[in-house]
A and B are shown apart, each in its own frame.
Chain A
Amino acid sequence: MLEKRIIICLDVRDGKITKGIKFQENIDIGDPVEMAKKYYDEGVDELVFYDITASFENRGIMIDVVRKVAENIFIPFSVGGGIGSVEDIRRVLLAGAEKVSVNSQAVKNPDIIRQGASLFGNQCIVLGMDAARDDTMPSGYRVYINGGRIPTDLDALEWAKKAEDLGAGEIVLNSMDADGTQQGYELTVTRMISEKVHIPVVASGGAGKPVHLYDVLTKGKADAALIASMVHYGDFTISGIKKYLHERNICIRME
């Protein structure tokens, strides 16, 4: 059976990994290539690199980091942050990434999803979405851009469906309410979107303990769970989390 994936998220700023709490006060915690290699050795299923300040400061993508990671790590990985054109997508893929994640730029120019998918395949194009609770929206969740700084008029569920229609192959759904709290994923929005789209949904934001992954992969209906702080600071290990989930009958890759 298809396995649930554990994806490690590495937020990169100025070539270093950072970890933020609710998108603010990011602190440096290590070298991205070394960190990626460590998690690969521990059995993580996939990696995601976000150049967290790229869309804000309009910087390019750290192609060198991508290339070095690709040379050492033989599992899928994606890159997000500041990707605004087909040319950006091509550069990241040629440097060795499998997928690119588009977020703010896709809100501003949804056609990049369609163009990217038709040129490189749906599986290459991931929609990254930052959503926060908002009772004035039809689904109860609003989409934000620029690292959560700017609210948009988009409803989270409507945007997810539209991205699927445009050709996105996957959605990474980050709950801004849960992000950095380590109190658990936002199960309601994850489940709602996962049940309404036909592409995999990766839950993001809020993981603090293995039981949070269990909950989002079962009750939250997520296809994969993104983690960061809970392993970055050594509170848990990838193999420990996987063992926990495996013992509770979650279908997961055990190497």
Chain B
Amino acid sequence: MTGIVDYNAGNLKSVETALRFLQVDFFISCHPGDFKKADRLIFPGVGDAQAAMKILSSNGLGETITGFYREGKPVLGICLGCQIIFTHSEEGDTACLDLIQGEVIRFPAVPGYKVPHMGWNQVIHLNRHPVFRNIPDNSSFYFVHSYFPKPDNNSCIAGETEYSVRFSSAVGKNNLIAVQFHPEKSGKNGLTLLSNFLKWKGGQ
């Protein structure tokens, strides 16, 4: 059973409809106790890192996500959920969950590059993570974000994308995979990625 973390941070609806389309068992909850019945977890999100961390700390869901990761069960972070797993975010100078060490930073102001980075862009595969199975290298995914993660250790980068800078658009460590784009809004390749995650047992 897949659990989706509801912390009042947008885009739950689209993740929910994608999972329903894929015909998998899942539930959505904001109560830490409910996640005992889950064997994998999706941590979505759109919005502000500081506001999100405030909610996750006050209702115990932050500990749920961390605990889940430590137990070795598969976790998928999406967009804001790909940022909050890092050590720290520049957005609101926010201390995050620190599951992967690194900093989340804002796109630099570069003429000709609008921020947020919004639209379809290609993901260059690194280290060939299992969630990219059956997805061609350089396939496009849908992005909407102003910040991106910068891991301390390059070995956890699973995908990179070129914009005003080349940034990590997919990061993986053990049983955790996180993507900066929205697989639930990225057409057939996005659905393939979600479906790969739902079968993934963690690890390479």
A binds B: yes
Residues of A that sit less than 8 Å from B by CB: 1-3, 5, 40, 43, 45, 70-72, 74-76, 93-96, 98, 120-123, 169-170, 198-200, 223-224, 253, 255
Task: With A3-B119, A93-B13, A198-B114 given, name 8 new contacts (CB 8 A).
Answer: A1-B163, A3-B120, A3-B140, A71-B21, A74-B186, A94-B13, A95-B13, A98-B14
* Contact call A121/B13, Cβ cutoff below 8 A: no
Q: How far is the CB of B148 from chain A (nearest CB, A)?
A: 13
* Contact call A1/B142, Cβ cutoff below 8 A: no
* Contact call A200/B122, Cβ cutoff below 8 A: no
Chain A residue at smallest Cβ distance from B142: A76
Q: Which residues of B contact A93 (CB under 8 A)?
A: 13
Q: Give residues of chain B (1-60) contacting chain A, Cβ–Cβ below 8 Å.
A: 10, 13-14, 17-18, 20-21, 46-47
Q: Which of A2, A95, A96, A120 contacts B10 (CB 8 A)?
A: A120
* Contact call B46/A75, Cβ cutoff below 8 A: no
If A74-B190, A75-B185, A76-B185 touch, does A96 touch B17 (CB 8 Å cutoff)?
Answer: yes
Whole-angstrom CA separation of A230 from B21 in the bound complex: 31
Q: Which residues of A contact B187 (CB under 8 A)?
A: 40, 43, 74-75, 255
* Contact call A75/B142, Cβ cutoff below 8 A: yes
What is the number of contacts between chain A and chain B, taking CB atoms within 8 Å?
A: 80
Q: Which of A72, A98, A123, A224 contacts B116 (CB 8 A)?
A: A123
* Contact call A2/B185, Cβ cutoff below 8 A: no
Chain A residue at smallest Cβ distance from B183: A74
If A2-B119, A5-B119, A255-B187 touch, does A200 touch B114 (CB 8 Å cutoff)?
Answer: yes
Q: Give residues of chain B (119-147) contacting chain A, Cβ–Cβ below 8 Å.
A: 119-122, 139-140, 142, 144
* Contact call A199/B114, Cβ cutoff below 8 A: yes
Q: Which residues of A contact B201 (CB under 8 A)?
A: none
* Contact call A253/B118, Cβ cutoff below 8 A: no
Whole-angstrom CA separation of A198 from B10 in the bound complex: 24
Whole-angstrom CA separation of A94 from B14 in the bound complex: 9
* Contact call B120/A45, Cβ cutoff below 8 A: yes
B162: CB under 8 A from chain A? yes
Residues of B that sit less than 8 Å from A by CB: 10, 13-14, 17-18, 20-21, 46-47, 114-122, 139-140, 142, 144, 162-163, 184-191
Q: How far is the CB of B62 from chain A (nearest CB, A)?
A: 22
Whole-angstrom CA separation of A66 from B14 in the bound complex: 12
Whole-angstrom CA separation of A25 from B40 in the bound complex: 53
Q: Which of A71, A122, A255 contacts B188 (CB 8 A)?
A: A255
Chain B residue at smallest Cβ distance from A120: B10
* Contact call B121/A2, Cβ cutoff below 8 A: yes
Whole-angstrom CA separation of A72 from B14 in the bound complex: 11
* Contact call A74/B185, Cβ cutoff below 8 A: yes
Whole-angstrom CA separation of A217 from B46 in the bound complex: 29
If A71-B20, A75-B185, A76-B142 touch, does A1 touch B116 (CB 8 Å cutoff)?
Answer: no
* Contact call A3/B114, Cβ cutoff below 8 A: no
Chain A residue at smallest Cβ distance from B46: A121
If A74-B186, A121-B10 touch, does A169 touch B142 (CB 8 Å cutoff)?
Answer: no
Whole-angstrom CA separation of A138 from B182 in the bound complex: 41
